[in-house]
Amino acid sequence: MQIKAWIKRTLIYTLILAFGFSLGLAGQVSANSYLNQSFMPAPEYPKNESGETYGSALKATSPANEPDLIQAIGEDGTVGYVRNSDLIDKHPKTPEEALKMNTETCEKEITLYASDCKTVIGNFKITKGIVVER
């Protein structure tokens, strides 16, 4: 009688373990298929005379494959391009510096170029913490 109970208990535990393993495996496969979306091919952007890529950053699948010159709308409504490197802020070195960067009002103007990145056509304003609707 004790052997039958032991076999029954072992069978139940084995089934529960197999079911849990199956659920975990299904979740892993599902997560991997979702994560693999970031491995989509990088968009192809046109290049200017200097060999710099330009276009909308909305086509990029990651920050690593954004164009060198990102399409932007200037203060006066002019459509042009800003250097990707001009958009990147310096990284804080301490938590205090990070807090200061997040709490201070920051306004930065960068140059808006034509696609050749030589012809200046206006300014692009970056304002932290304020949404501007047109």
CA neighbours within 13 Å on the CB side: how many for 61?
Answer: 10
Tell me which amino acid residue 49 is.
E
What is the tens place of the pLDDT at every residue in 49-102?
A: 999 999 998 888 888 889 999 999 998 999 999 999 888 777 778 888 877 777
Q: Token pair 């300014």 is at which residue? A: 123
Q: Which helix (H) or strand (E) holds 83?
A: strand 79-83
Q: pLDDT class for 129, splitting at 50, 70, 90?
A: low
Q: What is the DSSP string of 10-50?
A: HHHHHHHHHHHHHHHHHHHHHHHHHHGGGGSPPPP--B-TT
* Residues 10-31, mean pLDDT to the nearest whole number: 69
Contact 43, 64 (CB under 8 A): no
Q: 101-122: string of b/e by CB count within 10 Å (b at 16+)?
A: eeeeeeeeebbbbbbebeeeeb
pLDDT over 70 at 29, yes or no: no
pTM of structure: 0.59
What is the tens place of the pLDDT at every residue in 98-128?
A: 777 776 666 778 899 999 989 999 999 887 6
pLDDT over 50 at 37, yes or no: no
Instruction: Provide the pLDDT for residue 104.
Output: 65
Instruction: Provide the pLDDT for residue 134.
Output: 61
Q: What are residue 122's phi and psi, to 5 degrees? A: 165, -160
